[in-house]
Structure formats: structure tokens, C-alpha cells
Chain A
Amino acid sequence: MTEPLTRSGLLAFIVDRVNVGLLVVDADFTIVVFNHFLEAHSGRRSEEVVGKNVFDAFPELPGPWLTRKIRNVLLLKNYAFTSWQQRPYLFRFAHHRTITSSVDYMRQDCTFIPVVDGEGAVSQVCVVVADATDTSIAHTELSRARKEAEAANHAKSEFLATMSHEIRTPLSGVIGMNRFLLETELTSEQRELAQATGNCAASLLLLLNDILDFSKIAAGMMELEAVDFDLRTAMEDAVDLVAAAAHQKGIEIALVMADDVPARMNGDSGRLRQIVLNLASNAVKFTAQGSVLIEVTRDEALPTEPRLRFSVRDTGMGIPADRRDRLFKSFSQVDASTTRTHGGTGLGLAICKRLAELMHGNVGIDSEVGVGSVFWLTLPLRLPTTSSDALPLPATDFSGLRALVIDSHPVSRRTLRARLETLGVTVDEADALDAGLPRLVEGNFGVCLVDRELAEQAAPELRLALERSKAKIVSLGMLGRRPMPAAGAVQATASLNKPIREAPLIACLAEAAKGGDAARRSQADRQSDAGWGTGMRILVAEDNPVNQRIAVRLVERFGFQVDVAVNGLEALAATAACQYAAVLMDGEMPAMDGLEATRQIRQRDQSLGLRVPIIAMTASGMSGDRERFLAAGMDEYVTKPISSERLGEILTRFVRRAEAAHQA
């Protein structure tokens, strides 16, 4: 017949056999309780040590520290703790896994409990000793794994930097050479082949950029700029890049910026452009017919934080609800078959999402199957830090000017109307030439903006009537569609390319308001632009023969005479012998690299009071590069493949304006 324990018997059993150490000492450090866990690990029997001073029984215990700890508990009547991370153990016990474990001793977490007697006084302390060895092993493993991950990440980012440079260099050569090839005399078959080559190379560059961007973001190495920039220009640039593709499919594309959107903001214009471009080109890709409208508005959802909302609205096939959340995840496209027809890495939207998040913004989509989709981006609005030093746009109040818009595309018509009305113009519209002409004849319009296709397809009488009207005729053409000058085509006095950029629109309206003839004048201007570098010399320092030829050809286009250097030493010598209008300096060259050459040139010329503009040509384009170049004494940089426009813009800035100032 078994006899159950009494309550006190039960509690005593539990105290003795629980798998934590229980040590109770009184105020003079005499051991009162020493349970089985402690017996088993210390090899001392409870009868041996109970009644003894704890420091006499266990001389290896940390005397002063433990005394202090226990005294504080008695004084404050509050728990105290110690963790294995701060103090590995109180009692040095062997770890019980004597065969498989590599740990030599037990790690312990201890708790010191004030024992409150019947009268509420504390004269004893109970020390609980718990085995924390497994936690400590897991912790060590985790630390090691983390260090390994960090090292791997570091290696990855170094790989990224090297690859970025290595891959872009030959590819920029291919693209540049192909461009020049296309400008030579070619048979039509050769031209087709060369164009196809160029397209492939351009696609490859885009894919590579996507992959590199994605890796950069994943490695946490994407850094965003914070500079003041013109928002409208950035948006117009992005839309321009998509326009050709849109117009080839017969899709209208337009940009509308709300009135309360600021002209300038602070941020990373390149990345913003990248996101908007990605969303817009996506929209164009997946829209078979209709329109793509890009709108920029203020987002007032959060009154404390002004935000901008960029939305890309298309009339495409729409995206079913269950596929929407997958869109922004990497590698997913709505339908596997679309990858085959439309191509792409599937990374674009994922990159957009990450970039948006890095900017403290968000991306998303609203869609209706069969109607279309709106891809949107919201960003906190950061106002520019400095006031703009750009020349103000000419007067933008055209009240008193009446305009007639004749365009069969509703989105183009609506957006152009909105923009003209913002500028104070009174607008009338028509969707066809035969509807519009009567109005043109009756009304007193200062300017008539006609879609080029409509004008070209019109009957000869209509064309004549159009030309004879007193209004200034502006033909609106689609960028990317080569206008076929048909016999008897309308002689417009000016033309604007859709999507219509603000500055040319205003210039057109200004001429119309004045009654002047803008077209011929700008043509002459453009011609004189071509050779403005005549009479000046530029030095190109580049060791790679292909890139060297490309750079030389690009510079020659502006009329400059070009000298070459194949390394930093030659560049140093050349700049000493001749005063160049500017130097294009490659970063990596044998014998002496571009940065070092720049430093030395600056040092040498400082005493002479000279400063030749030095522009870096780089394949890398990683953040941090700009700072390095500027620190070495360079004035600006272009990334390869070098675009003629960018080079022109930079040379204008540093050479032409300097010349003009010098002559003034």
C-alpha cells in the first residue's frame, strides 16, 4: 500500500529534486539548503555543507562579488539576477554531456530571491542556479553564422563592384561602335542587321542594369542621392524614353502635372526617373491599344507629411485580384506566357518596390480586368534645399491667347487642354479636321495645334484652308514615328513632339503670342550649335582603344580638335604642353590612373592659377564614385557608354559658358 507524501513532504521533495540548483544562505552566509542538483554536480553531500559558511565550504566562489550581491538583496528585499553572458557561472560545474559535447563547463543563469519570513523581514536568500549551456551553445553558433554571412556579403559586394565595371566596359564599346556603324553608308540589309545588333546590345545593357541594381539593393548597397532637381524635366525625360515604343504601337502617351506640385524637389532624380520609366514602359508593354497617362499629384492622405503621387494609368488588359500581390515580388509576371512574349527579367517591378521603400515611399496597383490598371508610386515630398539658379521660364501667362486643338486622340486632347488652360490660354477642341476647320475659320485663334497624322490624311481643300488661316499652325507629331513628308503636306510653322515637353510648348505659345516665326530661327540656332567647339582643343585620356575612338568621335562632332593620351603620365605631359579647353579622363589606365593624374595636374596648375575642366569617364557608376572624383579634383563625370547629349551638356557647361564669359 503506497503512502502519498504529505504536503510538506511533497514540497521538500520538489525542492530537492528539481533540475535547478537551490542554495539557501542566511544573513551570515551559512548554508541552510543545498539541493540534489548541487550535490550531483559538485560531488559534495548536503550533510557535509549545510551549517557551514558558504565561502568556507566552496572557496572557489567569487567572495566579494557574491557577498555584495547577497547583501543587496537582503537590504533592498528585491530579486537580483545574473546571466551567463555577463558571468559564465557561479559554481564551476562540469557539463554533463561528457562524450558528445565540446563545452568544458556549465553556463549558468542565477536568480537571487529574498526569502520573506512570517513578519515580512528578509533574513535569508535563495540562490537559483539554472543550466544555460544549451542557450549559450546556440548563441555561439548564431554569432559564428552571422560573421560568416557578413563576410560573404562583403565578398559579394566586392564582386559586384568589379563585375559592374568589367561588364559595362566592353558593352559600352559595342553600343558606341554600333552607333557609328549606323551612321556610315550601309545597304538596307546591313542597316537592318546593325539596328538589330544595336537593339540587342541596348536590351542587354538594360537587363544587366536591372540585375546589378537588384543585387545592389539586396546587398544593402544601394545609396540614394539627395540633390535638388527639376521635377518636370525628370518626368518629361522618363516619358520621352517610353514615347517611341508607345507610338509605335499606336498608343497615346501623355504627362500631366497638377498645379500644386512643386517645380523642384530634393531627392534622387535618377532613381525616381527609373521607377516612373519602369512603370510606364510596363504599362506600354502590356497595353495593346488606347493610352498611357502619367500623372503627378499631391497626396494629402497624411496631413502631417506632404507626399507626391505618381500614377501611370493604362488601358491594358487589367490584372486579376489574385495576381496583383505577386506583381512586385521578384521574378513573377502575371502569366508565364507573358514572359515569353514580352521578355524581361521580371525584376523591374521588384526593383521599383525596393527603391520606393528605400525612399520611404510605396508602390501599388489598382486594376480592373478589361478596363486597365493604375500603377502608383507615393513618395514623401522633400523641398529643395537651395533656390534654383536656373533662368526663370519666360512669362507663362498667355491669357488673351486662344488656341484650337485638333486631335483624334482623347487623352492627348484632354491633357493638352488642361496644360494650356493652366497657362491661361482659352482652349477650344475638335476631334477631327472637318469639325475643327469651320471653328478655325470663325474663331479668332492665335494658334492651332493639329495632330500631324490628321493633317497629312486630310483632303487637299482642308489642308489649304488650314494653311490660309491666320492662326499659327503647330503640328503635333508622335516621337518615334518618322514623319513621311507627303506631297502637299501641311506646312506647319512649328512642330512639337508628343509627349509634349513644357519648355518647347511655352516657347511655341510665346512665338504665337508675339506673332513671330519660331521655326526658322531655331533651325539656324541648331545649325550653329553643331560646331561651337571649332578652334578649341580637348584632350582625351583613355587607354582602351575602342573607348578612345568613341570618345574622340563624339568630341569631334562639336567641332573640337582632339588629342589623345593613353595613360595618366601622358595626360600630365600633354596638359603641361598645351592649354586644353577640357580634359576627358578615364579612371583606370596603366602607369598612372586618372585620379592620380588629376591630382597632379591640380597641384601643378594651382601655382599658375590655371584650372582646366577635367571630366571623368567611368564605367562604374557606383555611389561613392562621384565623391572620389570630386575629391581628386575632377569637375564632373560621364558614365560609359557616353551619350552625345550628356557630353554636349557637360561640355556646354564647362567650356562654352566659360568661353562666353571669357569673351564678355
Chain B
Amino acid sequence: MTLWLLIWFLYYQKKRKEEFSELLKEEIGKTALEREKFEMIINSISEGLYVLDKDGRFVYFNQAAEQLLGLTAEKVLGRMDCEIINCRDDQDNKLCYPGNCPLSLSWKESKTKFYPVLYFNRADGAVFPVSLMVSPVMGRSGPAIGVFLFRDITRELEIDRAKSSFISVASHQMRTPLNALRWILEMIINGELGKVNPKQKDFISDAYESTIGLTKLINDLLGVSRVDAGKFKLKKEPVDIKKLFDQVVFELSYLTRARNVTVENQINDCPPVVADSEWIKQVITNLTDNAIKYNRPKGNVLISNQIKGAQVVFTIADTGIGIPVDQQNKIFEKFYRAENAIALQTGGTGLGLYIVKPIIEAAGGKIWFKSALNQGTTFYFTLPLAKI
């Protein structure tokens, strides 16, 4: 009896072992298939993908990474990040594990980090621009791996540079003849090129104002094209905002005289704010230009500032025609002009305020206004104080 039991037990164990073996083979087969699928997917993407372990060593390197960097996975796996990739930012600072490496920063913040422009080098030493996304993967006891996804953005930067160059050249080519025309007309009006009778002066003044309008249109169109094209990288640096206001008031003095409006600039003792001086000057110009243009004869424009916490609030108040209540919600739309503004025939473009809002918001500020028909308009915008 015991013998039969023993034989049955051994037979059962053998069967179990065979079944288990089959199951194991099946699972290994499935895993291999899944891995093959995974490899096919990862190697089908055009972006370079590599993985670093918690010591900064390569543990995975896809085919696109091999092609983009001119390296094989074989040469890279097990080696340190900085031995292979000379990653630099746009200030030419080297980003190396662990120090200021994107992976260290993403582990520290436990979130994916995106770098729009960095520079990598190929195996042959050639440097090329990339955009990089780094995703940290945390294990039970802390950082486990980091997944790097990058792509070559050489072409995109070339297109950006071409757009910027076109904007610069177009603006110069349009402005130059306009300048000559404007200055000649100015000299004629002032009697510097001989006497003009009142009727001639009147018509020439109209021509002069047309050149001013055309100049503003060109400035606004170029501003809009830069905003729309995303050429809108605001610098964030301390700016002497009083100097910008003084410059704008000076540059608009021809308009102040023409409209018979008084501009009172009460910007005083304003500490530096964080802004991009070129773009913020455009904001100040557009708001002040509107305040003068849509004013009544012998009207006033008051420019002032107030510090509120970590922000400075700037105010540009006019005694002009105001904005009808039912049209106020459209005032920042592209090409929109309120009906009473159109009726005034100032030659406005409807672009000035369209540009102003995204600039202020990108600078970390806010813009708003109060207005009532025939009772003037007050625009407010904020900018952050520069930390000293």
C-alpha cells in the first residue's frame, strides 16, 4: 500500500513539475513578446529616449537616441551621464549629474521638468539644440530612475531666427522712407523750408498726421506679428520704469501738442520693477497714446504709480471720450475699436490694446480699466517689484 502511495506521489510531483514548466515557458514567452512590443514602440519614435539610474548611469538608450547622438547603446549603457552627453544651457553652463542636472532637479521636485532649449553634443563633437523632458520615477526607497525624452530643434530655431530677422528687416525698410517724409513735413510746417500759407500748412499738417498714423500702424503690426508668432520672450530684469515713462511722454510730445492735451507725469521715486524694457515701453506708449488721442481739446492725462505689497500699480487716467459700457468687454480684442473711437477719426488700428494685455500678463502683472462714456478712462497695470 505504502509503495503504491509513494509511486502515485512521485508521479503527481512529476506532473506538477511538467505543468509548472509549461506555465513558466508560456509566461516567459508572453514576457518576451511584451518586451519585444515595448522595444518596437520605443524604437519607432523619432525622439531620443534614454534612462538613467539613481547613480546617473545609462540603463536604456533607444534607437533614435543612437541616431541623434551618433552612439550605440552598447557603448553607452553602464556609463555615467556626463561622460557621454555634454549638456549645456543657453548660458553655456554645463548641466551634470548630480549637481545641476535636470534629473536631480526633477527628483527634488518630484515632477516632470521641461527644458525648451538645451544643447547636446554628438559623438563627432557637433553641438545641436534640443528640447528635453525629464520624468522622475520614484521607487519605494526614493529615486529609482529618470526618463529623458529629447528632440533636435535645429530647424525650429532656424525658422525662429528667420522670422525674427524678417520682422527686423521689414520694420527697418518700412520705417526709413516714412521717417524722411515725416521729418520733411515737420520742417515745412515749422517754416524751415520757406513760407507756407495757412491753407498749405493745414493740408501739410494732415499729411504729417497721416505719417504718424502710418508709423503707429507699422509699430502695432510688427508688435502683433511678434506676439502672434510667439516671438515674445520677455526678459525679466530690473527696469527703471520712471525713465521709460519719461521717454514715452517726450516721444509723444508732438501728439500732445497736436491734440492740445496736457500730460502730467507723476511717476516719482519708483523702485525698479521686473520687466522687459522694450515690451513694457510699448505698453506705456500704447496706453499713453490712447489717453492723448481719445481725449478732448484742453483735456488732461495723469500718469501715476503706487506701491502695493510686492507690486507697483501704474495708472494712466484721461479726461476723454470714455468707452461705452456695452463695448468694454471687447476692448482687448484684435482690431476692435469702440464706436465712439471710430467716430473720432483718429486713425487708430484696434491693435494697441490687443498687444498690451499679453505683455503685461507675461510679465507677471495684471491690467484692467475703469471707464464711463464722456467721463474719461483710467487704465491700471501692475508689475512686480525687483527684489534687491
Q: Do A and B come from one complex?
A: no
Contact surface of A with B, Cβ cutoff 8 Å: none
